[in-house]
Chains A and B, each alone.
Chain A
C-alpha cells in the first residue's frame, strides 16, 4: 500500500480446473488503482471463471489449482474463507451477469444495499439505511427513498442493475469486478450505466475489471484490454493499441467481423470460420490453431507472449506475429 502505483490486483499464472480440464490456463494480468481493464473474448473462454477465481466464489465443480491472486499485495488463493468474506465486504466487490437473479427477491432493495455495511459492522442499521438511499441516488435511481422500500420485482431490469451496482459500491471497494454488467440491457440504459461507472471511477478512484464481449463497450470504458481465447490471454495492450493494431490473429478477426456504423451496407461480413471448440476438444499448443488462417505445423507448441514491435506492454501470444499483415 506504500507504493501508490502498485497494482490493486495482480493475477499470475492462474490455473482453474473443472474436472480434468484447465478452463483457465495460465492467466496473468494486473489492474492498477483507478484503472479499467477489460477481459474480452469468446463465450466459454474462461472470463467469468477468471473473475470468480479472484473473488473466491468458484462453482463447486471448479478449483483454482495453481498460480497467485494478490489484492493489494495479499494472497487470496490461500486465504481462509473468513478472511475472504471480509475482503469481499470491503475492498472487493462484484456485479454479476444476471442482475435480477443475483438480488434477493424477498428483501427490500434498500436493505440489500445496506447489508454489507451492517454485516461487517461498519455502520448501525439507521446509518446504513441512510447511506443506502444516498447510494441509490448516486447510481441514478429516481425517488431513492421510496424505491429503497420496494422489492426487486417492482423494478425494471435497468433499475435492478443499478441496485446491484449500489450494493457493490456502498463499501467503497478498491476493485470492482463487473461481469457483463450491461449485456442484458438496452443501448440507452447501457449508456447510462457506463456513464455511471466512469463517474464512480473518477469520484472514488475505484479500479474496475470489466468482462464483456462488446468491443464498443471496451472502446468506451477500458484503459487496457486482455483478449481471451481458450482459457488463455492471447493479447493484451492499451485499448488504443488493441484497436489500432490488433496483432493476434484472433483479435484481428474479432475486430474485423463487427459491422461498422460507417461501413458499407448489405455486403458479406468478415467472419471467423469454424466454431468454438468445447473445452474437452481444445487443441494442443495454440488453441486458436483449429480456426487460424495463419496456422502452421509449429503452432502445435504453446506460443509465448511476445512484445508487439515498439509498444511496451502490448504483447501477443502467436508464433507468427510477423505474418499478421497477410490477413489484412
Chain B
C-alpha cells in the first residue's frame, strides 16, 4: 500500500440497511450493501472503485462522506477517526472531502445562477462576500468556463458545462479528496474525454486525491493509480492498476476485463465467447462462502462454505479466491 500516512484509510467498512417486513414493520434482515471493505488513498492518488451495479460502490462513497451511516468499521482521514469525532470536528473534516455525482442536472439548483451555485459552499462556510466573488471567478477559470457563465442558469448550459460547474463547486473549499461517483457516465461521448482531462489536470495542479467510482473500465485504467474491484459488498481484488489489468487473479476481475468490448472489430471478434452466466445474488441474501460462487466458472469444493480473505497475488495486488490463492483460506 502507499507509503507514509494515507490521506484516507477505510478499515472493514460495513453499511447494512435494515430490511423491514410485514404489517409490524419489524426488522426481518439486512441488506449488506457494504460488508467489510478496506482501502487507502494517498495524497495526489486516484483510487478507482469498480464492480457491478448494486455491488455497493456508491454506498461506500456515501459512507465516507457521511451521507449514510456506517454500521461498522473505521474511516480515518489523515489518521483521525471521523466516525468517532464530534459533530463540529466532523463538519470541518468533511470540508476536505467533496463529491461529484453522476447527474449534473439534478446536482444543481435550477433557481440559482452558476455563480450562486459555485458560491453556495463558500456562503455556508461563512466566507465574506468580496472574497466569494473573487473565488468564484478563479474557480470558473480553473474548470474552463468563461466569466460570463456566472450569470447564467444551469438549464442554459450543456451537460459538459454543467458538470464543470459541479466540479467548480466541489473545489470551492479547497478539498483534499474528491469522491467522483460516475462523473462522466451521463455525459455525451465527445464530452467525456474533456471532463476526464479536466479531472487529471486539476489533480496535477492542486494535488487532489480522487476516489473514482465508475463503470467504464477503459477510463478507470486510464486515470487511476490503484483499483478496488468490489463484488456484492466485498473486495474481490485490489492493487496497482497495471497489476490488475495485466495480471487479473480473481475470476471475477478476469470476467470483467473479458467483458469489455474492444473498439476494434477484428480484435473483438477474435476474442473467445464470453463465458459467465447468471445474475448477481441479492445483497440481502448473499452466499455464505465466496460471494462469487453462484457465477464462478472456477469454483471448487470449498467455495460455497468458506469465505475467502484477501491474499497476495505475487503481482503487487491482493485477491480473495480460494482456488487461485491457497493463502486466501480464512482462519
Contacts and interface: CB of A to CB of B under 8 A. Distances in A.
B149 to A, nearest CB: 12
B279 A158 contact: yes
B222 A216 contact: no
B101 to A, nearest CB: 17
Interface string B233-250: 000000001100100000
Interface in B206-255: 215, 217-219, 221-223, 241-242, 245, 255
A156 interface: yes
B153 to A, nearest CB: 14
Interface centre among B192, B200, B264 (most CB of A within 10 A): B264
Interface string A129-173: 000000000001010000000000000111100000000000000
A30 B218 CA distance: 32
A260 B190 contact: no
B190 A192 contact: no
A42 B187 CA distance: 10
B261 interface: yes
B112 interface: no
A158 B277 CA distance: 11
B109 interface: no
Interface stretch (A65-73, A262-270, A311-319): A262-270
B262 A263 contact: no
A5 to B, nearest CB: 23
Contacts of A49: none
A246 B72 CA distance: 52
A194 interface: yes
B192 A265 contact: no
Interface centre among B194, B196, B263 (most CB of A within 10 A): B263
Contact of B52 (A186, A243, A255, A273): A186
Interface in B255-309: 255-256, 258-269, 273-274, 276-280
Given A192-B274, A216-B260, A255-B263, A275 B191 contact: yes
Interface in A94-150: 140, 142
B188 interface: yes
A197 B297 CA distance: 22
A191 B215 CA distance: 14
A92 B91 CA distance: 57
Contact of A253 (B52, B53, B190, B255): B190
B219 A259 contact: yes
Nearest to A269: B193
Contact of B265 (A185, A214, A240, A276): A240
Interface in A245-261: 253-255, 257-261
A220 B219 CA distance: 19
Interface in A199-226: 213-220
A261 B258 CA distance: 11
B187 to A, nearest CB: 8
B190 A254 contact: yes
B4 interface: no
A188 interface: yes
B160 A266 contact: no
A187 B256 contact: yes
A268 B264 CA distance: 21
A42 B192 CA distance: 11
A254 B193 CA distance: 10
A194 B190 contact: no
Interface in A30-83: 42-44
A301 interface: no
A111 B318 CA distance: 47
Contacts of A91: none
B221 A213 contact: no
Contact of A186 (B215, B222, B266): B215
B197 interface: yes
A239 B259 contact: no
A191 B261 contact: yes
A271 B184 CA distance: 14
Contacts of A191: 258-259, 261, 274, 276
Interface of B: 52-54, 158-161, 188-194, 196-197, 200-201, 215, 217-219, 221-223, 241-242, 245, 255-256, 258-269, 273-274, 276-280
- Pick the 5 closest A-B CB pairs, nearest first: A216-B261, A275-B158, A269-B193, A191-B259, A191-B274
15 contacts: A43-B188, A156-B54, A159-B279, A188-B259, A191-B261, A192-B277, A218-B263, A254-B190, A257-B192, A259-B221, A263-B222, A265-B222, A265-B241, A266-B222, A271-B194
